[in-house]
């Protein structure tokens, strides 16, 4: 494969973010165009796994091969840094630098698939520590449908707002969407971030070096963003937590990017902050309401996850009769802390079931729930 992978007539030099593995003198490309081209060297399902894993290594681990090695090692894939660097250097898993097939791949196909699946699903951690996989709940369905509708090319209003209380699994849904779909990027907002820091983070998600100056990042973003793309800004309300002055420059950037390229911009906020972010008297904010089709066009998630969500999560974890115990699951899922508390209790139950080499049952869940009660924690006093 050539070092100049082209996409839409743009050379790698113009868009690539690169990380030099100085220990092995390997340059690794992390932009979407390179990743998609590299995946062509992988057969069938392994190609899609490669795309998802390399993007996750970029977005979550910053392309640091030492961290990549350590994360895989935690899951039992104890390969050295050199091996992972060779796999991620232009997909050189089963071919050399000239694109010629190797006599045998660096890692056996089945083993590499298992490594990738473990990394994406945290499989070993689930088995050893009772962690839960991502579940496609009704909240997931609502979020996915809303964003996909906004991304349709014929839509006039491609600005969107999703409101919902904390603890509904919103962020997990956004991250999963971005992991599954190259055209969707997820950006977490925090109150410490400046507009330039947000732009740098968005640029990095699109494979643009964080070392470029602000002006260059904006114009490279304009090249990368387009009508078929979407950016989800998660917890936008946090930018207003300390200073409302941050929000207007940030939204002006969103408006500029959307106007120039016609892509979709989604903001996720909590219901408590809706009126402060979109006050009736603000002419400036009215334009963003309009871009979303008015406040009636906001996606308003329920205050609590539907009962079916808890059944789905428990079923995904191997509880065969989850539907029969939906009242127990709902009781736990509506405790203070919402679905996060639910996950915590089910993790404890799953760990206990795994230790007994047993399937998850209502008895394990009830025991984990009872162990959290004050009387239990205080020794029955």
User: What span, in angstroms and rounded, lies between the C-alpha atoms of 116 and 39?
Assistant: 13
Same domain, 277 and 370: no
What one-character-per-residue DSSP string does 247-307 give?
HHHHHHHHHHHHHHH--EEEEEE-GGGHHHHS-TT-HHHHHHHHHTTSGGGSEE--SS--H
Whether residues 367 and 316 share a domain: the answer is yes
| Distance between CA atoms of residues 381 and 376, nearest Å | 8
Which comes out higher in pLDDT, residue 10 or 371? 371
Q: Per the domain annotation, does 16 fall within a domain?
A: yes
The residues near 112 (Cβ < 8 Å, ≥ 6 apart) are 46, 87, 93, 105
pLDDT exceeds 80 at position 8: no
- Per the structure, the complete domain to which residue 321 belongs is given by 307-377
Q: pLDDT digits over 171-186, tens only?
A: 989 988 987 888 899 9
- Do 49 and 93 have their domain in common? yes
Mean pLDDT of 354-365: 92
Q: What is the dihedral of CA 307, 310, 313, 315, to 10 degrees?
A: -80
Does the predicted TM-score (pTM) go above 0.75? no
pLDDT of 130 > 50? The answer is no
Query: Is 18 within a domain?
Result: yes
Q: Mean pLDDT over all residues of the chain?
A: 82
Report the domain count for the chain. 3
Report pLDDT for 50.
93
Structural domain includes residue 360: yes
The torsion angle over the Cα atoms of residues 322, 325, 327 and 329, rounded to 10 degrees, is: -50
In the prediction, which pLDDT does 324 show?
95
- In angstroms, the CA 242 to CA 9 distance is 44
Are 195 and 251 contained in the same domain?
yes
Widest pairwise Cα distance in the chain: 72
Please tell me the predicted confidence (pLDDT) of residue 104: 82
More confident residue, 358 or 247: 358
> Are 235 and 190 contacting, i.e. CB atoms less than 8 angstroms apart?
yes
State how far the Cα of 237 lies from the Cα of 268, in Å rounded to an integer.
Answer: 8
Reported as a single tens digit per residue, the pLDDT across 280-328 is 888 888 888 898 999 999 999 998 889 999 999 999 888 989 999 999 9
Please determine, for residue 46, whether its predicted confidence score (pLDDT) is greater than 60: yes
Q: Identify whether residues 224 and 363 lie together within a single domain.
A: no
Structure-token match 């979709």, residue found:
264
Tens of pLDDT, residues 233-292:
999 988 876 555 668 888 899 999 999 889 999 999 999 888 888 888 888 888 888 989
Rounded Cα–Cα distance for residues 102 and 324 (Å): 53
Same domain, 171 and 86: no
Cβ proximity of 129 and 351 under 8 Å: yes
Band (pLDDT 50/70/90 cuts) for residue 127 is very low
What is the mean predicted confidence (pLDDT) over 73-89? 82
């Amino acid at each position: 494969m050539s070092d100049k992978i082209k996409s839409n007539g743009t050379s790698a030099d113009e868009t690539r973010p690169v990380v030099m593995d100085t220990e092995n003198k390997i340059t690794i490309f992390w932009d979407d165009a390179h990743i998609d081209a590299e995946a062509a060297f992988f057969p069938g399902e392994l190609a899609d796994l490669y795309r998802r894993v390399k993007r996750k290594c970029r977005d979550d681990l910053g392309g640091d091969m030492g961290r990549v090695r350590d994360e895989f090692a935690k899951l039992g894939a104890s390969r050295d840094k050199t091996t992972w660097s060779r796999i991620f250097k232009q997909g050189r898993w089963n071919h050399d630098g000239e694109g010629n097939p190797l006599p045998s791949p660096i890692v056996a196909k089945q083993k590499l698939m298992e490594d990738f699946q473990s990394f994406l699903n945290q499989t070993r951690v689930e088995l050893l520590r009772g962690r839960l996989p991502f579940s496609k709940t009704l909240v997931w369905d609502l979020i996915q449908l809303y964003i996909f509708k906004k991304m349709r090319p014929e839509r006039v209003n491609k600005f969107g707002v999703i409101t919902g209380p904390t603890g509904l699994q919103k962020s997990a849904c956004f991250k999963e969407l971005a992991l599954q779909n190259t055209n969707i990027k997820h950006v977490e907002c925090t109150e410490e971030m400046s507009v330039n820091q947000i732009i740098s983070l968005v640029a990095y998600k699109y494979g643009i070096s964080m070392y470029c100056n602000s002006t260059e990042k904006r114009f490279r973003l304009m090249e990368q963003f387009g009508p078929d793309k979407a950016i989800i800004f998660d917890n936008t309300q946090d930018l207003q937590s300390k200073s409302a002055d941050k929000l207007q420059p940030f939204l002006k950037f969103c408006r500029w990017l959307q106007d120039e390229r016609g892509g979709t911009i989604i903001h996720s906020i909590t219901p408590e902050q809706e009126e402060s972010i979109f006050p009736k008297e603000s002419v400036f904010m009215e334009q963003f309401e309009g871009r979303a089709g008015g406040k009636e066009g906001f996606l308003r998630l329920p205050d609590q996850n539907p009962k079916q969500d808890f059944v789905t999560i428990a079923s995904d974890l191997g509880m065969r009769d989850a539907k029969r115990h939906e009242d127990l699951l709902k009781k736990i899922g509506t405790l203070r802390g919402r679905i996060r508390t639910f996950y915590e209790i089910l993790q404890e139950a799953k760990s206990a079931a795994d230790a007994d080499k047993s399937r998850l049952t209502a008895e394990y869940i009830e025991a984990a729930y009872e162990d959290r009660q004050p009387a239990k924690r205080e020794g029955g006093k």
